[in-house]
Chain A
Amino acid sequence: MSGILVVQEAGRNRISFEALAAGRVLAGLTGLTLETAAVGDPNATVFVESSGPPPAAAYAVQHPLLENYTSDGYVLALEQLIRKLEPSYIVFPHTYQSRDYVPRLATRFGQVLIGDVTGIEAGPTFVRQLFQGKMNGSYRHPGDGPCFLSIQAGAFRADAPQAGTFTILPFEPEIPASAIRAKPGKRFRGSAQTVDLGSAPLIVSVGRGIKDAANIPLVQELATSLGAELAASRPICDAGWLPMERQVGSSGQTVSPKLYLAVGISGAIQHLVGMKGSQCIVAINKDPDAPIFEVADYGIVGDLFEVVPALTEAVKAAKQ
């Protein structure tokens, strides 16, 4: 048992650097050294670029069978690296990829991933959200053996790169072809992207609180009065009330407009990661405890069916 190993994800630099920043917080609390690893070519950007002070070492995990992601391949490769390095903590960015294989990897060590971590405190204690963001839970890893963590997007600030060099060490795991059971296909987009929410300066977004497809025009009118794009949280698009391309959140688009006005959106983590970088967030919700108010600059606690039409009128009046 020695250090902290941060496993970065190639092609996902920002969230990888945030995981690296979380690793440094943990290093500060425990006094352990920090190393990094990533699956891929040593020339890949995740190694060439860096953030913060250089790590003690960086392992480039390489194998022809790791070229396309499979959980079987990644579990096998990282299991071997972890057995070799014997780190006390293994830190991952919380991406769809890590949630696909890290629980399985942790099970190989008789461990449980503490996933989607938003804070690291003395102890160390790891904070993650419960009940769709309504509560926080503080977790501890009291036992022996490595502690697996994944870090939520945006929870830690990636450090600016600092001068210095670090050694990149190749690591070649043994992976028999028969160990890979899934055959991954090509990635594809769901539908033609005709709405670019990412460049919209103003967004009005609607969630479950709208109750019925027939009520969508109410919010559309507000968006029109503001000159804003209409967006939605996942359940609205799942129900087919608005097209998928208008979805904001981890499975939809990530936006950071000048104004994000959330109507009837409670603010589950998956939604917040897609919009919390907005310059000004306004929330209209009947539940004063809704997590959306944790990130909102302005809020109205009330019935959206009364507030939204009144706001549309007030906006029209203010524009005159």
Chain B
Amino acid sequence: MKIIVAIKQVPERDAQVRIDARAEWIEEAGLQFALNESDAYALEEALQLKEKHGGEVIVVTAGPERVGPTIREALAKGADRAIHIDCEDLGARDALGVARLLAEAVKSENADLLLTGLQSDDLGLGQTGVIVAELLGLPHASLILHVEKTDTGLTVKRELEEGWFQTIELPTPAVLTIQSGGNKLRYATLMGIKRAKTKEVRRVTAAELGSDAAPVVVLERVSLPQKQKTTQILPGSAKEAAAALAEKLKFEVRVL
């Protein structure tokens, strides 16, 4: 099986994000970046499928120079090669613009399967994989926890709301967006990290892919959310705050 995994580098989960001076994006200087969580699960699913059925795993990502370490991480975990779409203005593109870059970059690979995480931890659009499927004319399924190869294609386990699931049969080639938690993530081994240095990373520019950046929808402003409730913060040491909270629970919330 030839499997493409589209991954994204995002600010680390615990990073303290601050709005930039123009209130159009966040202050990126000094931020730590990491592989998007559900993309890590997509990569894991791809690596397990390759281990079972053989084939090749190719990661693709769009972003500036700083995505290099994230690509290396994916290669160290076991991806065979990578495509880096060099793109300084990723933030100016909407989901369709980014999906066009990805679709163009992988089209000629004629892969059996394209996996990606169900959504990014930064923008949280949850659309890129589904749009890539449409652009490539392929069937898709989203929120997938488990993938099994069959004689005719794939059987996948899709997550529904409120604890329900559904099995779906799909022909290949297909696109799947992967939900977190379906597998246990592997760590890169020392050997893997060493090998990653020799693996191919093909660079293409956004311009070479012929995709212009003009967006259909525009993120105009980033702001801090307004509180939906007035939160009473209980101050003091851990012990003092805990005692004050117990008081509130007893006399105001009346649950003790």
Residues of A within 8 A of B (CB): 71-72, 95-96, 99-101, 103-104, 106-108, 110-116, 125, 128-143, 145, 147, 181-191, 193, 201-202, 226, 234-235, 237-239, 244-245, 247, 250-254, 258-259, 269, 276, 280-283, 287-289, 291, 293-303, 306-307, 310-311, 313-315, 317-319
Contacts and interface: CB of A to CB of B under 8 A. Distances in A.
A138 B242 contact: no
Contact of B231 (A116, A136, A140, A299): A299
Q: Which of A99, A191, A234 has the most CB of B within 10 A?
A: A99
A299 to B, nearest CB: 5
Contacts of A128: 124
Nearest to B246: A314
Given A189-B165, A299-B233, A300-B242, A137 B219 contact: yes
Given A103-B127, A129-B124, A253 B163 contact: yes
Contact of B164 (A99, A101, A189): A189
Contacts of A303: 238
Contacts of A140: 217-218, 220
A298 B220 contact: no
B207 interface: no
B122 interface: yes
Nearest to B100: A107
A257 to B, nearest CB: 9
Contacts of A125: 220
A298 B216 contact: no
A291 B123 CA distance: 15
A71 to B, nearest CB: 7
Given A104-B134, A294-B227, 5 more contacts: A99-B143, A136-B222, A252-B162, A281-B229, A298-B232
A128 B241 CA distance: 33
Contacts of B142: 96, 99-100
A207 to B, nearest CB: 12
Contacts, number: 256
B171 interface: yes
B131 A107 contact: yes
B164 A188 contact: yes
Contacts of A301: 233
A252 B16 CA distance: 28
B181 interface: yes
Nearest to B234: A300
A33 B161 CA distance: 32
Contacts of A313: 242
Nearest to B141: A182
Contacts of B125: 115
B245 A107 contact: no
A135 B19 contact: yes
A190 B11 CA distance: 32
A227 B216 CA distance: 52
B134 to A, nearest CB: 4
A317 B256 CA distance: 10
Contacts of B143: 96, 99-100
Contact of B250 (A112, A296, A318): A318
Ranked nearest first, the 7 interchain pairs of A and B with the lowest CB-CB distance are: A238-B181, A306-B238, A310-B242, A314-B246, A185-B167, A103-B127, A181-B139
Contacts of B124: 116, 128-132, 269
A284 B231 CA distance: 12
B66 interface: no
Contacts of A133: 225
B213 interface: no
A90 to B, nearest CB: 13
A134 B231 CA distance: 16
Interface string B234-256: 10001101110111111001011
Contact of A311 (B130, B168, B228, B246): B246
B180 A234 contact: yes
A141 B126 contact: no
B162 to A, nearest CB: 7
B245 A181 contact: no
A318 B249 CA distance: 9
Nearest to A123: B220
A137 B216 CA distance: 16
Nearest to A258: B255
Interface in B122-181: 122-127, 130-131, 133-135, 139-143, 159-171, 179-181
B121 interface: yes
Given A103-B130, A116-B124, A310 B229 contact: no
B238 A310 contact: yes
Given A298-B232, A315-B249, A137 B221 contact: yes
